[in-house]
Chain A
Amino acid sequence: MNATPSLHLWLIPLLPFIGFLLNGLLGRRLPNALVTTIALLFTAAPLALVTSIALRFGTLTTPYLERLPFPWITTSTFRADFAFLLDPLTLVMLLIVTGVGFLIHIYSVGYMAHEEGYWRYFAYLNLFMFFMLTLVLAENFLLMFVGWEGVGLASYLLIGFYYQRDSAVEAGKKAFILNRIGDFGFLLAMFLMVAHFGSLSYDTVFAAITHHPDLQGGFLTAIALLLVLGATGKSAQIPLYVWLPDAMEGPTPVSALIHAATMVTAGVYMITRSHVLFDRSPFALGVVAIIGAATALFAATVGMVQTDIKRVLAYSTISQLGYMFLACGAAAYSAAIFHLVTHAFFKALLFLAAGSVIHALSGQQDMRAMGGLRKTIPITFWTMSAGVFAISGLPPFSGFFSKDAILYQAFLSPTAGPLLWFVGLVTAGLTAFYMFRLWYLTFFGASRTPDAHPHESSWSMLVPLILLAVLALAGGWIGIPQALGGGDQFAHFLEPVINPTPSYEQVRITLDEQGVRRAAEISNPEPARRVGIESQERVFSVMSVVMALIGWFFADLLYRRKPGMADQLVEHLRGGYALLVNKYWIDQVYNALIVTPLLVFSRYLLWGAVDRGVINGGAGLAAGGVRGLGALVQRVQSGNIRSYAGWLAIGAGALLLITYFGFSMHL
Chain B
Amino acid sequence: MVVPIAYYLVLSAILFSIGVGAFLIKRNIITVFMSIELMLNAVNLTFVAFAYQWHRVQGQIFVFFVMVVAAAEAAVGLAIIIAIFRSRSTLNVDQVNLMKL
Contact = CB atoms under 8 A, between A and B. Distances in A.
Contacts of B23: 642, 645, 649
A649 B24 contact: yes
Contacts of B93: 641-642
B20 interface: yes
A641 B99 CA distance: 12
A641 B24 contact: no
B97 interface: yes
A641 B93 CA distance: 8
A640 interface: yes
A646 interface: yes
Nearest to A641: B93
A642 B22 CA distance: 10
B20 A641 contact: no
A646 B23 CA distance: 9
A640 B94 contact: yes
Contacts of B27: 642
A639 interface: yes
Contacts, number: 18
Nearest to A638: B97
A15 B94 CA distance: 81
A649 B96 contact: no
A646 B21 CA distance: 9
A642 B94 contact: yes
B43 to A, nearest CB: 13
A642 B24 contact: yes
A651 to B, nearest CB: 12
A531 to B, nearest CB: 105
Contact of B96 (A641, A645, A646): A641
Interface string A635-667: 000011110011001000000000000000000
A611 B70 CA distance: 65
Contacts of A645: 23-24
Contacts of B96: 641
A660 to B, nearest CB: 14
Nearest to A652: B20
B24 A646 contact: yes
A106 to B, nearest CB: 82
A643 to B, nearest CB: 9
B91 to A, nearest CB: 13
Nearest to B23: A645
A646 B32 CA distance: 13
Interface string A609-644: 000000000000000000000000000000111100
A639 B95 CA distance: 10
Contacts of A649: 20, 23-24
A641 B96 CA distance: 8
Nearest to B26: A642
Contacts of B97: 639-641
A640 B24 CA distance: 11
Could you say which of A639, A642, A645 has the most chain B C-beta atoms within 10 Å of its C-beta?
Answer: A642
A149 B24 CA distance: 75
A484 to B, nearest CB: 107
A654 to B, nearest CB: 14
A417 to B, nearest CB: 100
Nearest to B27: A642
A639 to B, nearest CB: 5
Interface in B73-100: 93-94, 96-97
Interface string A370-411: 000000000000000000000000000000000000000000
A221 B96 CA distance: 87
A649 B27 CA distance: 17
A645 B21 CA distance: 10
Contacts of A641: 93-94, 96-97
A401 B43 CA distance: 114
A641 to B, nearest CB: 6
Interface in B20-49: 20, 23-24, 27
Interface string B8-24: 00000000000010011
Nearest to A642: B24
A640 B32 CA distance: 14
6 contacts: A640-B94, A641-B96, A642-B23, A642-B93, A646-B24, A649-B23
The 4 closest A-B pairs by CB, nearest first: A639-B97, A646-B24, A649-B20, A645-B24
Interface of A: 639-642, 645-646, 649
Interface of B: 20, 23-24, 27, 93-94, 96-97
Given A639-B97, A641-B97, A649-B23, 5 more contacts: A642-B23, A642-B24, A642-B27, A642-B93, A645-B23
